[in-house]
Amino acid sequence: MSLKQQASSGAEVNERMAALVSNASAVRAIASAVEGTLGPKGLDTMLVDKFGEVVITNDGVTILTMMEANHPAARMLINIAKAQQEEIGDGTTTATVLAGALVGHGVEQVSRGVPVARVIEGLRAGLAAGIEAIKRRARAVEDIRDPVVRQVALVAGRGHEDIADLVVKAAEMVGREKLVDRSFKLADIVVAEEGAENQVFKGVIISKERMNRQMPLEISDALILVIDDALEPEEMEDEALATEAGFARYMELRNQFLENVQKIVEMGVGLVLVDRGVNETAEEILTDAGVMVIQRVLSKELRKAAEHTGARMIKRNGLKKDSDQLVKCLGKAAKVYNDEKLEQVWIREGAGKSMATVLVGAATAEVVGERERIAKDAAAAVQAAVRGGVVPGGGSVELAAARDVERIRSGMRGMAVYGVDCVVEALKRPMAQIVANAGFNPLEKLGDVVAAQAESGRDSLAVDCDTGEIRDMYQAGVVDPAPVKTYALKAAGEIAEAILRIDTIIKKREEKAGREIEE
């Protein structure tokens, strides 16, 4: 090979490494932004926008989604954290830290001359072994009243006992069958309000008030009508109204509408929930009849209310049905109450599916926001634990899994072993960061725990962040949902592989709106 060819080849290698190092640095910067929040001694992060608005939080996904990140690799990592949040609802910081470690160690191996393909081959084998090792150590949660469920809520809820108690009580109200339903998210029942008192109740909250103060504040044994539409007469085109026949049709539709509103009154309906607006005349008739009406209800809340009360949502045309048929669409609730202080309507003890609402309060808007995030994390963790079991926390299960991954090294051929090493090192990272955040030497403590786990045969040993002593995490009540760990490792592996495979960064050309650019 000539000197010119050697120089050209070296330039290509340097260009590929530059892309890899750039991406790895961006991922490392994102991981650094959240790793300080990991563990019981993790600290908070302050996010400030250009207007000086401040958010103080310990929540990984909140930090990641609110922080400014322009590098494409950084945005890829943030998207993985969002996927973790969407799927599990907790563990975004763990996923980010693992991804940062996998990418970092992967780049080190590539810079030493290990081909990317071999690193990725080892990564895949190591990740599969690590996920299997964590699943094998999971303990099933058979009963929601098991004390371990509260411990899961307490750990995910960052030690807030009041929030842990609220979440566990809500989980018991909802029941196991609902918790294992993939379409249901326990975190969605958490509502936070400034000045509210902490409580859990059977029912749902509508974040709107009654239409006017002449309507009743409270209704007992209420019949409930849910209209997934506007409570208004059918609309007609302006051109049609200009004709005599059109005007006659308009009057006919209006009279029919008023008859339908009167039908609501005659059926004894106490609460009407409307997706869109309400006609002024209809409002007046229903007010005089002592009916509470709430308009422009959020679709999500409308569906919840219908499900909880047993109501069947109807369109405005559905009001044309005979009263006997329309009664079958009504829901029921033991109590409906308009809380004027919180500007909400509570529907309690509906006749439909059992639902619970967790109401979390605090003194200020900033604190309410953080308490809501904490409660949602705790709720998501409890649901994940019921679905997939629990594992010891504090980084102990990852460290135990690292030993299992290390054992498959002897069965790997060639340079793929270096990819396995990346997984082993990444699995050590959560405990190392937790220990560092607690103010101890991570290298020293990691070595102590590895030796203690091997000597005792107990995979649940880790570091007590208060004393620095080795302690059994199960006995200490430090437990995490197994799905949080397995999904975080899977997500971290996906982003690490995607980034390691990129060897060139090219800026896309801009396409003008409304104009096709020929290839």
Domain shared by 411 and 483, yes or no? yes
Alpha-carbon dihedral sign for residues 414, 415, 416, 417: positive
In sequence order, what E strands does 318-476 have?
331-339, 344-350, 356-362, 390-392, 461-463, 470-472
Residue with tokens 């009849």: 289
Do 333 and 203 touch, CB atoms closer than 8 A? yes
- 177 within 8 A of 171, measured Cβ to Cβ: no
> Are 165 and 272 found together in one domain?
no
CATH at residue 381: 3.30.260
Dihedral Cα 320, 322, 326, 328, nearest 10 deg: -150
Residues 243 and 304 in one domain: yes
The domain spanning residue 70 has which CATH number? 1.10.560.10
* φ/ψ (deg, to 5) at 205: -115, 135
- DSSP β-ladder status, 190-194 and 356-362: parallel
**What Rg, from alpha-carbon coordinates, does the chain have?**
29
Q: Is residue 275, in this structure, part of any structural domain at all?
A: yes
| Statement to judge: residues 149 and 276 lie in one domain | no
Residue 394's nearest CA partner among 469, 496, 451, 444 is: 469
Give me 410's structure tokens: 């002897």
Domain contains 419: yes
The predicted structure's pLDDT at residue 512: 60
Does one domain contain both 238 and 354? yes
Cβ contact 278:230 at 8 Å: yes
Mean pLDDT of 370-378: 90
> Region 353-374: what's the mean pLDDT?
84
Residue 443 lies in a domain: no
187 DSSP assignment? G
- What's the whole-number average pLDDT of the chain? 87
What is the pLDDT at residue 507? 61
Q: Are residues 245 and 340 in the same domain?
A: yes
Of the pLDDT bands very low, low, confident and very high (cuts 50, 70, 90), residue 410 is: confident
Please report, for the domain that includes residue 268, its CATH number.
3.50.7.10
pLDDT of residue 76 exceeding 60, the answer is yes
What percent of the chain is modeled with pLDDT above 90?
55
Residues 340 and 426 in one domain: no
**Tally of domains within the chain:** 3
Same domain flag for 88 and 69: yes
Give domain status of residue 276, yes or no.
yes
Q: What is the mean pLDDT of residues 119-134?
A: 95
Look up the domain containing 184 and give its range: 144-191+363-388
CA-angle at 402, arms to 400 and 407, nearest 5°:
105
One-letter amino acid at 181 equals D
pLDDT in tens, 151-188: 999 999 988 999 999 999 999 988 898 899 888 889 98
Any residues with CB less than 8 A from the CB of 207 and at least 6 apart, and which? Answer: 191, 298, 301, 343, 344
Which range among 174-183, 239-248, 297-306 shows the weakest confidence by mean pLDDT? Answer: 239-248
pTM: 0.79
**To which H or E segment does residue 16 belong?**
helix 3-35
> CA-CA distance, 327 to 73, in Å (whole number)?
57
Answer yes or no: do 319 and 343 share one domain: yes
Determine, yes or no, domain membership for 506. Answer: no
Residues 384 and 394 placed together within one structural domain of the fold? no
pLDDT of residue 370: 84
Q: Which helix (H) or strand (E) holds 235?
A: none
Q: Is residue 462 part of a domain?
A: no
Structural domain contains residue 507 = no
* Contact (CB, 8 A) for 320 and 234: no
What is the per-residue DSSP string for 85-111? HHHTSS-HHHHHHHHHHHHHHHHHHHH
% helix / strand / coil in the chain, to the nearest 5?
Answer: 55, 15, 30
Helices (H), 88-217: 92-111, 116-136, 147-156, 161-174, 176-179
Task: Report the amino acid identity of residue 279.
Answer: N
Claim to verify: residue 25 and residue 112 sit in the same structural domain:
yes
Q: Do residues 61 and 160 both lie within one domain?
A: no
